[in-house]
Structure 1
Amino acid sequence: MPPVKPRSSAPLYAQIRQLIVAALAAGEWRPGDALPSEAALAARFGASAGTVRRALDELTAAHIVERRQGSGTFVATHAAPRQQFRFLRLVADDAASGFARQLLGCRRVRASADVAHALTLRTGEPVIEVRRLLHRRERPVVLDELWLPERHFEGLTAEVIEAHPGTLYALFETSFGVHMVRAEEKLRAVAATPQTAALLGVQAGAPLLSVERLAYTYGDRPMELRRGLYHTDADHYRNELN
């Protein structure tokens, strides 16, 4: 097969990066799969190994691929231990780690105007709504509500979620072929309503951290809108700025 020649005014490494992402979006390599060697990719794209390496460096920095010493480059996966809580930045002030999950509901609903706008859908288009609590130290610390376009998550039910031992993002990868590669978040302080206070075990009016997240798959396509209420008395929200 002749080399795939990128055609663009962008630098060659950027073109190769885009071609690799396009191949990932097309399902040529799945999360957890090994990518071809740098030499093989260089031959495929008609470029030098150094140019391919720079493209892979950028994909690594974006957490789309990961390098494993002595093993090669792999498609990043939310099933990997280091990636499981990549988008969940609630860090314990003590030694507590991980979360227990309590599913409150999973149902098919019509997208409200704001949900539809965030997910680039039509108002009223079917979405899957999931509600759950995350527990730490045997008490609830996060109330999550999330919405997913039904056409990409057909067959997602409470039974499917309960049967999956890992995170939701790992489930989305393995069962629906949707890999979340990046997310944007909006944070603000809110007061607990009586309904949320009852679920989180706090007083009505107690301060909570509201985190709205929009998660994207390849090609910057929004695939999940998530709104979480965080009880941060014994935890803090941690982010790294580069």
Structure 2
Amino acid sequence: MADKASSPVGRTEYQPLYAQVKSLLLKRIGSGGWKPGEMLPNENELAAEYNVSQGTVRKALMALEAGKMLIRRQGVGTFVARHSRDQALFQFFRIVGLDDKRLTPASKVLTQRTARAKSDQAARLGIEPGASLHTIARIRFLNGIPAIFERILVPTTLMPDLAVAVGSEMEDEMYVIYQERFGISIARVSERLAAVAATSEEARHLKLDVGAPLLEISRVAFDVNGRAAEIRVSRCDTTRSRYAADIE
């Protein structure tokens, strides 16, 4: 049974009640009070627990569903969303074909090591400079062609025994691994784009000339509690693809 709410809804807060309930539910999911795939109590039970109306709870649940943190199954109940490979790609992979059709990448891990966080990396992750990081380098293939050279940085304190199979094709997306192995659900990402030139290492793996133009996507991924969980730097050959984002 999940733990009870650790803090009550404050009726004098500026935030609307439903937003406060949403925040408390998110905090509970992020702390492991409800696991991925677990069913939440029904609306009446949640309303009684948080001392709000059923309508307020419903609005909070709908907001979390819209943010893909919950799945509501008619006549069954409300469940914590579980990342799947397809869902993670649909939500977070923004490279499409020149015809705007979605592409499904295949990934091969090149190396996994540990390193010390540089000052800029530490600032982005909210950790101390010099803290230990998992560093993973991989190639992502689009339609069988190497198209993305990627480096992934994850604090070891967050996921101490994170390990991927070097030299093998990855079956799961990283965000599926984070959730299934460590209970860390990625809720949002922040990305910055830049035009860069291929290094010798990137050119070798992507079968390009050194200095060839690449699109760099520098991303920080945040979990449901707003904690930075990953830095990902993707350097993309956009000869046969492009970046696409919908802004609402």
Per the normalisation by structure 2, the TM-score is: 0.88
Per the alignment, residue 234 of structure 1 pairs with 240
CA–CA separation in structure 2 for the residues paired with 1:240 and 1:161: 34
Unaligned 5+ residue runs, structure 1?
A: none
Count the aligned residue pairs.
Answer: 242
Per the alignment, residue 98 of structure 1 pairs with 104
Per the alignment, residue 217 of structure 1 pairs with 223
Given the superposition, is the C-alpha separation of residues 106 and 225 from structure 1 closer, same or farther in structure 2, using an over 3 Å criterion?
same
CA–CA separation in structure 2 for the residues paired with 1:34 and 1:161: 38
Query: Does the CA-based 8 Å contact 1:96-1:137 persist in structure 2?
Result: no
Mapped pair 1:196 → 2:196 = no
Mapped pair 1:47 → 2:65 = no
Among 8, 23, 26, the alignment partner of 2:28 is 23
Quick one: which amino acid aligns to residue 201 of structure 1? K
Query: Does the CA-based 8 Å contact 1:212-1:228 persist in structure 2?
Result: yes
Per the normalisation by structure 1, the TM-score is: 0.90
Mapped pair 1:61 → 2:57 = no
- Greater shift in the superposed pair: 1-10 or 94-103: 1-10
Unaligned 5+ residue runs, structure 2?
A: none
Deviation per CA, 1:98-121: give whole Å up to 9, x if none: 222110111111111111111111
In the TM superposition, residue 173 of structure 1 has moved relative to its aligned partner by 0.8
Mapped pair 1:36 → 2:41 = yes
CA–CA separation in structure 2 for the residues paired with 1:202 and 1:218: 38
Among 65, 70, 77, the alignment partner of 1:72 is 77
CA–CA separation in structure 2 for the residues paired with 1:80 and 1:193: 30
Task: Please give the root-mean-square deviation of Cα atoms over the aligned residues, in Å.
Answer: 2.4
In the TM superposition, residue 63 of structure 1 has moved relative to its aligned partner by 2.3
Per the alignment, residue 174 of structure 1 pairs with 180
Query: Does the CA-based 8 Å contact 2:98-2:240 persist in structure 1?
Result: yes
Query: Does the CA-based 8 Å contact 1:133-1:144 persist in structure 2?
Result: yes
Deviation per CA, 1:18-43: give whole Å up to 9, x if none: 11012112211112222222222112
Given the superposition, is the C-alpha separation of residues 141 and 68 from structure 1 closer, same or farther in structure 2, using an over 3 Å criterion?
farther
Given the superposition, is the C-alpha separation of residues 128 and 233 from structure 1 closer, same or farther in structure 2, using an over 3 Å criterion?
same
Quick one: which amino acid aligns to residue 68 of structure 1? R
Where do 1:103-118 residues align within 5 Å?
103-118=109-124
Per the alignment, residue 6 of structure 1 pairs with 9
Query: Does the CA-based 8 Å contact 2:61-2:70 persist in structure 1?
Result: yes
CA–CA separation in structure 2 for the residues paired with 1:47 and 1:71: 23
Deviation per CA, 1:146-203: give whole Å up to 9, x if none: 1111011111223499596311110111112211111100011122223211111122
CA–CA separation in structure 2 for the residues paired with 1:86 and 1:161: 26
Deviation per CA, 1:194-213: give whole Å up to 9, x if none: 32111111222222111000
CA–CA separation in structure 2 for the residues paired with 1:163 and 1:231: 20
User: Could you say what secondary structure the match of 2:135 adopts?
Assistant: strand
CA–CA separation in structure 2 for the residues paired with 1:161 and 1:147: 18
Q: Percent identity?
A: 33
CA–CA separation in structure 2 for the residues paired with 1:138 and 1:2: 49
User: Could you say what secondary structure the match of 1:86 adopts?
Assistant: helix
- Greater shift in the superposed pair: 225-234 or 35-44: 35-44
Given the superposition, is the C-alpha separation of residues 126 and 12 from structure 1 closer, same or farther in structure 2, using an over 3 Å criterion?
same
